[in-house]
Amino acid sequence: MSDPTQISEDDEPFLYQQDQVDASLKAVREAISKVSLTTICVECGEEIGAARKKVVPSAMLCIDCQEFKDEYKR
């Protein structure tokens, strides 16, 4: 009977995939933290108001640009 704690050559592709998943997850977490820290509108470069960031922490647009975008969609 083999030791379940031992890693065999057959396990190596799965370990590589797990490393890739871990790296991807780390990148996603870093991106999310950057989004929540962004206080400058990506569209016009103006400050995103503190009240808006409090209500919508992931906001990437100031209220004016968001309203324009929403109006344009209609």
Instruction: Give tens-digit pLDDT for 7-63.
Output: 667 767 777 788 788 888 888 888 777 766 778 999 999 999 999 998 998 899 999
SS3 content of the chain, % helix, strand, coil (to 5): 60, 5, 35
Going by the DSSP 8-state scheme, the letter that residue 48 receives in this structure is: P
Residue 4 covered by a domain: no
Residue 7 lies in a domain: no
pTM: 0.52
Indicate the helix (H) or strand (E) that contains 67.
helix 63-73
Establish if 3 belongs to a structural domain: no
> In this structure, is residue 5 part of a structural domain?
no
Q: What is the domain range of residue 24?
A: 13-73
Q: Which of 33, 29, 64 is nearest to 46 (CA)?
A: 64
Which burial class, exposed, middle or buried, applies to 48 when counting CB atoms under 10 A from its CB (0-12, 13-18, 19+)? Answer: buried
For residue 5, the model assigns a pLDDT of: 66
